Structure 1
């Protein structure tokens, strides 16, 4: 047998066995994230350092035992080499970026569908006899409510069965229920079907961040996350433009769902042909199956296959609850998830009232009013493309200044210090220029600033969360998406009442103040104390010490 394919691989390629998973929380990324092998700063407390040293020693002992056991197991299938081309991080740059673009196209689909009906709400309400503004908002935002629950289930499944199968299956679910929306005969049917279409459409939100972690090293993730993060925000901005054109030219809201389903079908076809699996444990399992078939040796297996049925069930249960556990126990996730929920809620408020603002206050026709969403699209694009480069630059620069040249996830936070000011400023400009009915360019400038700040904020938050817990990136982002989507669902429900009571000026001032009170201090607090929070976390400690095992 070719020893390069089994346990003779260097220690860097060895994986911990599932039996030790509770003691040594790592997976096949462990040899790659060396950025997380960090020494405590000089200002750390003696007690904190002692506790971390004790944890480090314990995990190192467990890892050493694992390594000794695996070296004697001639049937263990690993990468075989740190430079193995089977490892997604060793794929060519062109290949990795092609996969990123494809996953981003999936991620664009559901946010696009979430907002396409915004210009058609009046037409739908007229056909179904809906008079309540809350019920109208429900038809729009129930899709976003599904984003809160879908990733909490789908993200752990991707960490068990791989990214590709979960993404493709969920996309089929989205297409089926979205077609059902187009055939709805009542507002209740439409609302329920929109929820289930949103569940299927939420898969890219669960898969995308994990895929980025599979493909890129920490110092490269900023630009990749910039492209991936652009889709969930650009989609809601493009959707109303398409929906407004359909409403005005076709006079038929049902085509909104049929056209978005066509896009979903095209994306699914391309994905079936071109989208590869990127999750390392799943790739290794497939490698083991192939070797068993080629060699006839049925004992060949990966570390993740060496478990009985009861252990598999326990792993499934553990993985399904992990996003909830992370959300309940990790302060970093809690802070950034709440921050993103406020921002996401503000974004969907703008998406809900944008058409009404320019239709009623500026007397524009639906297709013309929907063109104002271009300002949001421009802002999201600028924030994503410039922001990604700024994040990578700050990470490399601050890492180079360290004597040990080791990066910290907090090195990606400087951009957040700026964007946390930009998007509240954008809300203020949008609100007060609309209040006084200035030239239409005024609200659009405010909307563009808001979108630029929002995009930069989402980019940094997601990139930072992935770097804090790269081995559980899908579960971490699922936890953040859960809270974020609740904000996107709830905020539009009270928006009409708020604007009727306060007007555009003071209504948006309230939103700006709330976002500023939470958003502006957060990056400074995390930059100063993020290391200490990670040092106290057994999940983050597992990531760092996994990288330190040579």
Structure 2
């Protein structure tokens, strides 16, 4: 079925113009109407792509150390800025798979490097490809799930990239201890190739503008192939650009994340919030091996086991919040007369802003006091839950706010976060050496608490007003 705007307006040569849309609200070709099984296949695979790329962040071999951690995260700041808007031209799936190939190629090369310079360059190039799925996958989740269903899917999707830095050091510690450290790269490349094969087989395109443009192209071919020949109708979509030249498309869309970053207050504010949140998290993560090796005298492999409590906290936070977020959103939407608002996500942020700083504080002080190792592990569980909750709630807010442009918005928001992830770990060893774990983590606690705790309340009260200042944001 073709929805006709204004009874099919006529062009100068008599051709009728039709707006191509979905065949009603229940069109099975609309990704939001796909069967739940297919939606979950898409969600699991998108999560697998994001889990893969950061999973070897904390290489235990001293040759790589902090710089190879940070240079990879630095590339995370720039890759999504390029590839996220391209996904809004060519579609999500093509770019997701192409960037994964880029990551796999350079990640494989890391295992063959002979010096630090080679490793640093290849890590940066791998990071460019590895960072793209974080933004593109968020757009994909937005494509297939309705807002009131999105909590569970986003929980799984966002659990993957934050769980990667937990599984990576755990696996990497034992690989480096038992095998050659190069197998950290080779093993992750083998896993990535398997994920790529599954994606090629199972992933279908999800981006509505691209799918409708394909539908319009099929209709044009069916009606003669050339739009303006005689009375042949002109088929367009609501997303068709006024000027479809490559030059104009690239000029408009490729710079969109940069435009968001410069002109959209929502992007700037949440970018700063996530920068401070992740800035407090990354030095803390890099300190975990030294805490359990230096204070508790554990081997490299056994010290790596203490990333497990962090992962338990993340998993528990994801499972709990996935249920709470959807139910809270649905209840608030019903109370608001059936109108959903991005601010409905922010109540779920509150426990995260409390758990994250308290967990950091508990871990640092109990470690310096040389209490039983279970005490810092309790802090790690709380920290893990806080990290996941903060990531999930804030990125859900951004996705709801920018909808069709969510990939570009997530890329822009993630820039400051990744820059903080690059810079903060560089001074962490010196900070802990000078101040100890208790005072060092007290500084991180103060940053996380001062920046994080006011955010949900301020945006709950002023969020709609702030969105009104944004050109591309939802005004509902």
Asked if Structure 1 and Structure 2 have the same fold, meaning a TM-score greater than 0.5 normalized by the shorter chain, the answer is yes
Give 1:306 deviation, angstroms.
Answer: 6.4
Give 1:336 deviation, angstroms.
Answer: 1.8
**Given the alignment of the two structures, is residue 481 of structure 1 paired with residue 424 of structure 2, yes or no?**
no
Structure-2 change in CA distance of 1:306 and 1:440 (3 Å): closer
Question: Which residue pairs with 2:53 in the alignment?
Answer: 110
**Given the alignment of the two structures, is residue 427 of structure 1 paired with residue 427 of structure 2, yes or no?**
no
Give the 5 Å matches for 1:43-442.
73-74=16-17, 76-115=19-58, 117=59, 119-120=60-61, 122=62, 124=63, 136-250=65-179, 252-299=180-227, 301-303=235-237, 308=243, 310=245, 312-402=246-336, 404-442=337-375
Aligned with 2:236: secondary structure?
A: coil
Give 1:478 deviation, angstroms.
Answer: 0.4
1:392-420 deviation per Cα after TM superposition (whole angstroms, max 9, x unaligned): 12111222222x23222111111212211
- When the two structures are aligned, how many residues end up with a matched partner? 466
| CA-based RMSD | 2.0
* Alignment partners' CA distance in 1, 2:371 and 2:8: 69
Asked whether the equivalents of residues 265 and 469 of structure 2 are also in contact (C-alpha less than 8 Å), the reply is no
Aligned with 1:302: secondary structure?
A: strand
* Structure 2, unaligned runs of 5 or more: 228-233
Give 1:320 deviation, angstroms.
Answer: 1.5
Give 1:529 deviation, angstroms.
Answer: 0.4
* Alignment partners' CA distance in 2, 1:383 and 1:280: 31
Aligned with 1:202: secondary structure?
A: helix
Asked whether the equivalents of residues 7 and 74 of structure 1 are also in contact (C-alpha less than 8 Å), the reply is no
Asked whether the equivalents of residues 111 and 235 of structure 1 are also in contact (C-alpha less than 8 Å), the reply is yes
1:509-547 deviation per Cα after TM superposition (whole angstroms, max 9, x unaligned): 000101111111111110000011112322225x65xxx
* Alignment partners' CA distance in 2, 1:239 and 1:315: 39
1:235-266 deviation per Cα after TM superposition (whole angstroms, max 9, x unaligned): 1100111101101211x111110001101111
* Alignment partners' CA distance in 2, 1:381 and 1:213: 21
Aligned with 2:472: secondary structure?
A: helix
Give 1:307 deviation, angstroms.
Answer: 5.2
Aligned with 1:482: secondary structure?
A: helix
Asked whether the equivalents of residues 356 and 385 of structure 2 are also in contact (C-alpha less than 8 Å), the reply is yes
Aligned with 2:255: secondary structure?
A: helix
Structure-2 change in CA distance of 1:66 and 1:327 (3 Å): farther
Question: Which residue pairs with 2:230 in the alignment?
Answer: none
Question: Which residue pairs with 1:36 in the alignment?
Answer: none
* Structure 1, unaligned runs of 5 or more: 12-64, 126-135, 545-550
Using the size of structure 2 for normalisation, the TM-score is 0.93
Aligned with 2:206: secondary structure?
A: coil
* Alignment partners' CA distance in 2, 1:468 and 1:476: 9
Asked whether the equivalents of residues 56 and 172 of structure 2 are also in contact (C-alpha less than 8 Å), the reply is no
Give the 5 Å matches for 1:487-506.
487-506=420-439
Asked whether the equivalents of residues 7 and 73 of structure 1 are also in contact (C-alpha less than 8 Å), the reply is no
Structure-2 change in CA distance of 1:307 and 1:326 (3 Å): closer
Using the size of structure 1 for normalisation, the TM-score is 0.81
Asked whether the equivalents of residues 8 and 18 of structure 2 are also in contact (C-alpha less than 8 Å), the reply is no
Structure-2 change in CA distance of 1:317 and 1:184 (3 Å): same
* Alignment partners' CA distance in 2, 1:327 and 1:340: 14
* Alignment partners' CA distance in 2, 1:155 and 1:306: 18
* Alignment partners' CA distance in 2, 1:67 and 1:214: 29
Give 1:66 deviation, angstroms.
Answer: 11
Structure-2 change in CA distance of 1:81 and 1:339 (3 Å): same
Give 1:85 deviation, angstroms.
Answer: 1.2
* Alignment partners' CA distance in 2, 1:86 and 1:467: 22
